[in-house]
Amino acid sequence: MPTVSAEARLRARNQFTLPEPIAEAGDLEPGDVFVVEIDVDDPDTVRLHRIRKSYAGALHGIYGDSKTYLDEERRTWEDR
């Protein structure tokens, strides 16, 4: 897996701008939300995790075929 790296600088008021090569490689867009994580025992490593805009489809396949699953669920409603 290729890695893209670029230097960035923390500015006044703790503002941080992602360099263009990083934003392009990650398909990042204005308005994306991130969680920033730091281990106090290793303060030289900072992790940045993008929060998904939508979780639709994130659990695809968990219940098997979704149409079959929903059909079975709906049948239980009729039994009530």
Q: What is the pTM of this model?
A: 0.60
Q: Provide the pLDDT for residue 59.
A: 80
Distance CA 79, CA 62 (A): 25
pLDDT digits (tens, 9 = 90+) for 21-79: 999 999 999 999 999 999 999 999 999 999 988 888 778 778 788 888 889 889 999 76
Phi first, then psi: what are they for 15, rounded to 5°? -85, 140
Tokens of 16: 């941080």
Q: Provide the pLDDT for residue 65.
A: 85
Q: Provide the pLDDT for residue 79.
A: 65
Task: Considering only residues 16 and 58, tell me which one the structure prediction assigns the higher pLDDT.
Answer: 16
Q: Provide the pLDDT for residue 66.
A: 80
76 half-sphere exposure, CB direction, 13 A CA radius: 5
